Amino acid sequence: MRLFVTGGAGFMGSNFIRYVLTKYPEYEVVNFDKLTYAGNLENLRDMEHDKRYTFVKGDIADAKAVQQAMDKHRPDAILNYAAETHVDRSILDPDAFVRTEVIGTYTLLEAAKTFKNRRFVQISTDEVYGHVASGRTSETAMLAPRSPYSASKAGADLLVQAYHTTFGVPTILTRSCNFLGPYQFPEKFIPFFITNLIDGKSLPVYGDGKQSREYIYVDDHCAAIDLLLHEGTAGEIYNISSEKSQENLTVVKLLLKMFGKDESVVEHVADRPGHDRRYAPDAAKLRRELHWKPTVAFEEGLRRTVEWYREHEGWWRPLKSGVHLKYFQQQYGDR
């Protein structure tokens, strides 16, 4: 099977490519990535000499580049991981989010119009359901995105569904909770705080820190996508989650314990505008239909992640200079 993985130089795309090439000796992977600030070929340095792996630099919103790569490689499946992914950046500069998420996904779907027995897997997010005050959101819940990031992802989701209904593209739409693990760009909450702790810096908690997220370890997400690629039903939507809620301050306390530090390094800063306080996707369908369940508990995943960042300073240190948090705080600090 030949897979066309977009965004394969990012956090989850690179973890998935390594997972697939390790698990399936006969599979080939084309990694199609624009190499934005978040794309990093270092993430797959160990795979680059594997004959089954090909890297193509390209933009998913560039129809010509996408078609050329598709004609050349004729993949059996497209897995669309490519996206702008940081909510804070989407507040400062939404342009690239709309372009990549909406136009990019549309461009890939156009290229997949001729797909019959092939697959189109869209990697989406629980953030499309917006803030969830109580209960859990199933796949049929109303979409109520509240940030430019989640609104753009929701736009892509709707196009995916429309291309299945109208043109019969065999799509699988996945909406996942947050991930944790190696190779996550150090602007996101967990790796940002881990690397700040390594450097003896403070931890900027947005608002009261009582917002919550659910997390799964990278390998558990890869296993879910592997299952859905092979056994998911075309046209269906699948939530992916541990269904274990973690308050931001709980995560901070666990990290402080792992680093032997006290709460004096915690700094409550201005809240993110429009901050979704809680996501809670219901993953019963994936558990019931495909017997998926997460295997790495949150604390164990966090311990592994801390260990990885401690051992890979050479990977994250050059990336941290690109973190625009300071700019974000300047813009919104007085709110």
Q: Looking at the annotation, which residues are catalytic?
A: 126-127, 149
For ligand NAD, the binding residues (CB under 6 A) are 6-7, 9-13, 33-36, 38-39, 59-61, 81-85, 100, 104, 123, 125, 153, 176, 178-179, 185
Proportion of the chain in helix, strand, coil states, percent, rounded to 5: 45, 20, 35
* Two structure tokens written together for 113: 């119009």
Comparison of 191 and 232: residue with beta carbon closer to ligand TYD:
191
Nearest distance from C-beta of residue 200 to ligand NAD, angstroms:
26
Q: In the range 186-205, which residues lie near ligand TYD by CB under 6 A?
A: 188-189, 192, 204-205
Sheet holding 53-57, edge to edge: 53-57, 28-33, 2-6, 77-80, 119-125, 171-176, 236-240
Contacts 24+ apart (CB under 8 A), 37-41: 37/185, 37/322, 38/10, 38/11, 38/84, 38/85, 38/86, 38/185, 39/7, 39/9, 39/10, 40/9, 40/10, 40/14, 40/183, 40/185, 40/319, 41/9
Nearest distance from C-beta of residue 270 to ligand NAD, angstroms:
22
Contacting residues for 90 by C-beta, under 8 A, at least 6 apart = 84, 97, 147, 148, 149, 152
Comparison of 186 and 209: residue with beta carbon closer to ligand NAD:
186
**Are the C-beta atoms of residues 300 and 151 closer than 8 Å to each other?**
no
Partner interacting with residue 38 (select from ligand TYD, ligand NAD, none; CB below 5-8 Å by kind)? ligand NAD
Q: Does 18 bind ligand TYD (CB under 6 A)?
A: no
Distance CA 243, CA 108 (A): 31
Binding track, positions 247-286, relative to ligand TYD; x by CB under 6 A: -x-----------------------x--------------
Comparison of 104 and 148: residue with beta carbon closer to ligand TYD:
148
Comparison of 7 and 155: residue with beta carbon closer to ligand NAD:
7
Comparison of 261 and 278: residue with beta carbon closer to ligand NAD:
278
Partner interacting with residue 146 (select from ligand TYD, ligand NAD, none; CB below 5-8 Å by kind)? none
Site residues for ligand TYD per CB under 6 A:
87, 178, 188-189, 192, 204-206, 211, 213, 248, 272
